[in-house]
Amino acid sequence: MDKFFKEVKDLDFRIHIFTSLTSLWIILNFIFQIPLYESLWGSTENLILSRQVYGRELPFYLDLLTLYPSITPFVFFSTLVLALYFLLGRRNLLLRFMLWYFVWLLDAKAWTVQDGGNNLMHLSLFYAILMDVPIKWGESTKLIKGFAVRAIQAQILIVYFCAFISKMAGSLWQNGTALHYIVQIDKFYSSLLIDLFATFPLIVNILTYSTIIAQLLLFTLLPIARWRLIPLALGVLIHIGIAFHIGLIMFSLVMIFNYSIFLTKDDLFFAKERLKLLSKKIIMGIISLIILFIVVLLAISPNKLRSDYLPPEDLKNLQSSLKTDSKVLIYHFAMKEKNNLAEIIQANKITQVDPRDLSNIQIEYGSITKLITAIKVLELEKKGLLSRDDKIIIKDGSRLTLNELLFHRSGLIDRPYDDKVKELKNLYDISHNKGYLYSNINYVLVGNHIHQLSKNKENFEINKLKDSSLIKASKRPLRNEIFDSAFGIIGNIHELEERIKKIDLNKLPCTKEGSCWGGYLKEGTFFSVGKMASGTSLIGINQDGTFTILSSNDYSLALDRIYAKIKF
Amino acid sequence: MLPDGHLKKLTNPWVSKYVEPIFEQRWHLFAPEPLTFSARLVMKCMSSEDWIDPTQDILKRNSTFPFVHLQKSIFLFNSISAAIIKLRSDFLEETRCSQFGLSECEKKFKLWIKKEDAYIKAQNLGYHVCRSRPHQLAIYIEHAKAFNSEYTIPNKGVELLELD
């Protein structure tokens, strides 16, 4: 046991490297904390509240800053000076103690525990006090210094051991999705990784499991001298990744700098030799791969970023390019910009509202109503209550199938639905079943048919449509009940979103171009439902010149479609 | 560091008092479960009915240029809301007051939280943001999107816990 502490290889070399790197870390950390000084240790004079809340409660004999709060700035800058003293290679037992005490005290009394890196640094610096015992202590000097080195090494192993064991107990680590959640959290937000994971979900699993395996390797292989360089290189790579992708730069530096306690002169020499042995070609290959990786990441990134945020300016342009008096309602949660506000645009005036208030806003479902009608038809057909081949006889004696009506293949004229429709002599714009022609009347007829069926059959399922919140929520004065089946519903936006989420577009009779229930009409009215790889978007522009633009989960898609329609 | 056993019970009161401040070891490092939501302290200042989220600006700047001090600021803001959420779940669990109705329970919590350090920190922060005592404080919780339906983290969207 004695030997274990006394005969630490390259003891002074390790102490020197470790001390220099940790001192450098302290300097960097405190420089970065200067802009936050007021927030972390701010004085009571700046606050109107009677009680200043400091960090943790400490035993009174350690709690210098509570006894004398005014010396906080002195302690702060002394820490910087002390770290500089050690970085320059000077050594002193008392100053080493003071360095630990100041770093620890400032962190303990700050408003918040910053991250795991600070915690490890306190412990390492505490053991490191023993690194500066005077030589005159003779034999025991080496023993004590050796003990300090071993203690820091053990501490690093404890970190990885605990992290590994507790990760093994977590269900999200077990199913390999933990990183997917971490990168979405404010503190560790990474737009790049979110995009990467969305595009290649397998990478989430690979990176999550790699993290666990790396931690296992770190605490198992680090104590073995022969294998030491492998986990160290792995650890450095992982922490560089953590630093750049989830922003834990100081934490990563603590870990990497603390690894130096494992390094011997031989290790450094070995690593140097190995690097020399690697041919230039391999190095070039690695560099090319890295460049390729970055290019791929950058290529994914811009498209994805665009989907997350639409600047209000664009909305203004969009507004003017359509109709100056039109109403546009846009509902979105722009995750990337954290701009959790819904924007309501009415007559060129943009109002931002709290998303919670959206539940009080009634919007026109517009032609999305058609989807709900169509789904109802499919449901009823599944239950054997009707068939899409059922024929409807209209005024002029023509027979139209439900399917033709649903697919807008009846050839029936389209015009704003009003009583005059009934007086029209020629109901057809194109010949029956000769092509696609969007018409609200198609859906009015479908709705009428369902309505008639429900009247004829008791306990008919369609009653659910009637008593649903859809019709109750409607504010539009109904000329008759069937009006709702084409575009008449007005309702709560969240309710609509819930409905949209449930829609399986694959099951709906869509046209080939992917636009399900849409079309373009002379009056500039269109409605489009599109399903694309990245999500489902819904756009509705109503007959009366008002627009309803909705996107269930991909805002940019909705916008793209609007632009596409304008060009068209 | 000891597991929750008899030995820990016996030694904890005096051991933790001396050992914990210096030798505190908490190596959660995103384990066993990582956080699956962001919680932000939001406030209404006197003159306005709009909620203000002071972290928005920092988050935006951090996503453009992730400087260390910005990241630390996010930690700072988050620590307050995280502490309040923890206190809330502890309160609901310990008092078991939800059996008397959740709204009654929330009222009790709102009274109780006012004495806690975390709430005072939140008020301090609110004061800095509003330049006067904040009219109302709340925690705005945004849940992470679920990976896919196979893995069951309920995607709740957003929640608002009002503190006043």
For the stretch A159-191, pLDDT in tens is 999 989 989 888 889 888 899 888 888 888 887
Instruction: Please write the tens of the pLDDT for every residue from B9-61.
Output: 555 555 555 566 666 666 767 777 888 888 888 888 876 767 788 887 777 77
Substitution target in B24, B25, B28, B29 with the highest count of A β-carbons within 10 Å is B29
Of residues A16 and A439, more confidently modeled: A16
Q: Which residues of chain B neighbour A239 with C-beta distances below 8 Å?
A: none
pLDDT band at B121 (very low <50, low <70, confident <90, very high): confident
pLDDT higher than threshold 70 for residue A155:
yes
User: What residues have CB less than 8 Å from A468, skipping those under 6 apart?
Assistant: none
Q: Are A558 and A476 in contact (CB under 8 A)?
A: no
DSSP string, B20-47: HHHH-----TT-SS---EEEEEEEE-TT
Say which of A47, A62, A186 has its CB closest to residue B21. A62
On whether any CB of chain B is under 8 Å from the CB of A174, the answer is: no
pLDDT at B103: 73
Q: Encoding tokens for residue B155?
A: 């995607």
pLDDT tens digit sequence for A453-491:
766 554 433 334 443 333 333 333 333 343 456 655 555
Q: What percentage of chain A has pLDDT greater than the value 70?
A: 56
* Distance separating alpha carbons of residues A334 and A555, to the nearest angstrom: 8
- The stretch A257-263 carries a mean pLDDT of 92
Given a cut of 70, whether residue A384 has pLDDT beyond it is yes
- The one-letter code for the residue type at A545 is G
Chain A residues within 8 A of B32 when measuring between CB atoms:
166-170, 173
Residues of chain A positioned with their CB less than 8 A from the CB of B23: 123, 126
Res. B146 pLDDT band, cuts 50 70 90: confident
Task: Give the pLDDT of residue A371.
Answer: 65
> How much is the pLDDT for A98?
94
Local confidence band at A88 (pLDDT 50, 70, 90 cut-offs): very high
Do B144 and A189 make contact, defined as CB atoms within 8 angstroms? no
pLDDT score of A251 more than 50: yes
User: Considering only CB atoms, which chain B residues are within 8 Å of A176?
Assistant: none
Of the two residues A525 and A243, the one the predictor is more confident about is A243
Q: What average pLDDT does range A372-380 have in this prediction? A: 71
Give yes or no for A180 touching B (CB within 8 A). Answer: yes
Give the model confidence (pLDDT) of A18-35 as tens digits: 999 999 999 998 888 887
pTM over 0.95: no
Q: Measured between alpha carbons, how far is residue A69 from residues A53, A64, A103, A104 in Å? A: 12, 8, 16, 16
* C-alpha to C-alpha distance for B103 and A279, rounded to whole angstroms: 70
Q: Around Cβ B20, how many Cβ atoms within 10 Å?
A: 15
Distance from C-alpha of A303 to C-alpha of A344, rounded to nearest angstrom: 25
Q: What is the mean pLDDT of residues A46-54?
A: 42
What pLDDT sits at residue B72?
79
Rounded to a whole number of angstroms, the distance from the CA of B120 to the nearest CA of chain A is 7
Most confident of A379-393, A429-443, A458-472, B109-123: B109-123
In angstroms, what separates the C-alpha of A77 from chain B's closest C-alpha? 17
Residue A143 CA to residue A159 CA, distance in Å, equals 24
pLDDT for position A343: 37
| Best of A101, A112, A165, A331 to mutate (most B CBs within 10 Å, chain B) | A112
Task: Name the maximum alpha-carbon separation found in chain A.
Answer: 115
The larger pLDDT score, comparing residue A124 to residue A228, is at A124
Residues with Cβ within 8 Å of residue A420, at least 6 apart in sequence: none
pLDDT band at A445 (very low <50, low <70, confident <90, very high): confident
Q: How confident is the model at residue A77 (pLDDT cuts 50, 70, 90)?
A: very high
Check residue A149 and give its pLDDT.
93
Instruction: Specify the pLDDT at position B93.
Output: 80
Considering only A208-217, A400-409, B83-92, B130-139, which range has the smallest mean pLDDT?
A400-409
CA atoms of B142 and A440, how far apart (whole Å): 40
Q: Per-residue confidence at A45, pLDDT binned at 50, 70, 90? A: very low
Chain A residues 403-442 within an 8 A CB cutoff of chain B: none
Residues of B in contact with A163 (CB under 8 A): 27-29, 31
Cα angle value B22/B27/B30 (rounded, 5°) = 145
Under the banding of pLDDT at 50, 70 and 90, the label for residue A2 is confident
**pLDDT attached to residue A425:** 58
| Model confidence pLDDT, tens digit, residues A529-560 | 333 222 333 444 333 333 344 433 333 334 33
Confidence of residue A137 (pLDDT cuts 50, 70, 90): confident
- Rounded Cα distance, A140 and A147, in Å: 10
- Which residue of A56, A103, A181, A253 is the best one to mutate when testing the B interface, meaning the one whose CB has the most B CBs within 10 A? A181
- Segment among A124-138, A302-316, B111-125 with least mean pLDDT: A302-316
- Which of A35, A59, A248 is closest, CB to CB, to B21? A59
CA distance A524 to A547: 11
Residue A421, SS3 per DSSP: helix
Residue of B nearest to A49 (CA): B124
Would you place residue A138 in the very low, low, confident or very high pLDDT band (cuts 50, 70, 90)?
Answer: confident
**Average pLDDT in chain A:** 68
Mean pLDDT of A288-305: 62
A293/B81 Cα distance (integer angstroms): 37
Residue A81 has pLDDT above 80, yes or no: yes
Question: Given this model, what pLDDT does residue A409 score?
Answer: 73
Q: CB distance A178–B34 less than 8 Å?
A: yes
Tell me the nearest-neighbour CA distance from B36 into chain A, angstroms.
Answer: 5
pLDDT range class, residue B62, cuts 50, 70, 90: confident
Q: Per-residue confidence at A97, pLDDT binned at 50, 70, 90?
A: very high
pLDDT tens column, B71-113: 877 887 788 888 898 888 888 888 777 666 667 788 888 888 8
Q: What percent of chain A has pLDDT over 90?
A: 18
pLDDT of residue A125: 94
Residue of B nearest to A120 (CA): B25
pLDDT band at A261 (very low <50, low <70, confident <90, very high): very high
Among A219-233, A362-376, A493-507, the range with the most confident prediction by mean pLDDT is A219-233
